[in-house]
Structure 1
Amino acid sequence: MQGTVDGFGYGVVTPVTSYLVACLGSALGLRCVVRSLRNQQSWKPGWLALGAATIGCGIWTMHFVAMVGFRIEGIQIDYDARLTALSLVAAIVVVAVGVFVVGYRGATTGTLTAAGIFTGLGVAAMHYLGMAALRLNGSLRYDTLPVVASVLIAVTAATAALWAAASYRGFLAALGASLLMGVALTGMHYTGMAALGVHLRGATDASHITGTYGDASPTSILLPMLIGPVVFLILAGVVVMFDPQLVLGDGDWSRTTPRRRRARATLPERPAPAPRTDSLFAPRDQRAGRHTTPRGR
């Protein structure tokens, strides 16, 4: 028996919210990556790790916000907690590979392309691991062509977003890169969902579910799981907002700040010490430049 799948249980609310979350995670993560590239005085591993974790959390949060509106007519849906957590780890780890490649090898053609491929594959891995966490009285089946299209969308848009973020400065470039990355995430998700078919095993009640959540709705199951990643994104946003150049993307990040430059300009220059030509074995008074006259004359 074929189940009727509905991915828009709350209308446009979940797609729009998931897109905004994807843009937020992408904007914060990409700015962290670009900061590590343009400010050689920053702590590169820390900023790259923060960027990878932020993008990964954005991917994961986007997916499960969209899944709040996912329904299958006539059956109850549950989620496997271990696979759900594994999908978050997979997103962060795979994205981190691409991010660290760019951070340590530079924003060259090869590294940006490789990073885009890894980031796009991270999006796809997170999506299909998250779907594998579904527990229901049936089996999931996918059409090959839409699955391939979803992976290509993720890889292409993620590569373009990394190119835009690393190649152009300014707020508009950063905004455009994050919007493009949001398209990659949500476009990949809903293309993958279009490939989904559910084959039911007969019973259409919720008696087959043995999970922790019992008869809880998808909303009551997913919303508590989203609290941690959402709080992390907020904290990452606070960290990024402490550096205006990180947000606006203006200026030369490798230089000192204007305040430090002004402070250095106001300091008086110290005269250079005169070279010493005396001998270390000369008397102390002579080394000090003192001239004494004999007594009694």
Structure 2
Amino acid sequence: MDPLAVTLEHHHFTYGWLNPAMGLAFAAAGSFLGLTASRYARAAATRGSRLRWILMASLAIGGIGIWMMHFIAMIGFTVTGADIAYDPALTALSFGLAVLAVGTGLSVSGGRRAGWPRLLLGGLLCGAGVVGMHYTGMAAVATGGRVVYDPVLVAASAAVAVVASTVALRFTAVVDRRGSMALAAAVMSVAVV
């Protein structure tokens, strides 16, 4: 431990429950839209149509459901005595990683007829991408200090991301009805948060 290190006081809920509630709403909306697009991807008659629907699902789940939720949470975070800024390039990269992670997971997992090995590989790749998105987004936050991570918590966050991604990919492969999609979207949004 650096003897000169100072722990800065930080606040996760600077604006009360507004940011977490908005983040949860975006996670649910993105998940529902992504599940809907995934359903259309499974029913697509052509490869091109399927890829377009997978892109839409990736943007919805990765961009709205995952990245937007994280960014909303981050703007609700303050550090006492420090201005917070965001590196635009790293912030954009974190968005791209979220969309790419979901797109890769959807493409690899292969939909309803794919077996468990492909689903597990898709979940691993998607989860790894989500971890990359999260820590790239955190690296984009400039507080004037240095952020230090507990390796055990990083490993735990990676495990949660892989498991949640695998479950979400399974939902994208099997959920068809609106009621089921709403329930699956609720589960996915809680997992994202």
Unaligned 5+ segments in structure 2 are 1-5
How many percent of aligned residue pairs carry the same amino acid? 36
For the 8 Å contact 1:6–1:70, the answer to whether it is kept is yes
The number of residues matched between the two structures is 186
Match of 1:8 in 2: 13
Describe the superposition over 1:28-51 as per-residue Cα deviations: whole angstroms up to 9, x where unpaired: 112212321134358111111111
Aligned counterpart, 1:131: 138
Distance in 1 of aligned mates of 2:123 and 2:36: 15
1:88 is paired with a residue whose SS is helix
Q: Which amino acid aligns with 2:53?
A: W
Residue 170 of structure 1: CA displacement? 1.7
Distance 1:110 1:11 in 2: 43
What does residue 24 of structure 1 align with? 29
RMSD value over aligned CA atoms?
1.9
- What TM-score, normalized by structure 1, do the two folds share? 0.58
Alignment partners' CA distance in 2, 1:108 and 1:35: 20
- Relative to 1, partners in 2 of residues 1:169 and 1:105: Cα closer, same or farther, differing over 3 Å? closer
Higher relative contact order (CA 8 A, sep 6+): 2
Aligned to 1:116: 123
SS at 1:140's partner residue? coil
Relative to the length of structure 2, the TM-score reads 0.87
Shift of 1:76: 0.9
Partners of 1:175 and 1:36 lie apart in 2 by 18
Structure having the higher Rg? 1
Counterpart code for 2:82: I
CA distance in 1, matches of 2:88, 2:171: 36
Q: Which amino acid aligns with 2:62?
A: G
CA contact (8 A) 2:109 2:120 kept: no
Give how far 1:104 is off: 7.2
Q: Deviations over 1:19-78 (max 9, x none)?
A: 110111111112212321134358111111111122221222111111121011111111
Report which of the two has the higher share of helix.
2
Q: Kindly report which structure 2 residues correspond to 1:61-210, keeping only aligned pairs within 5 A, or say none.
A: 61-103=68-110, 106-186=113-193
Partner of 2:146, secondary structure, is strand
Distance across 2 between alignment mates of 1:172 and 1:152 = 29
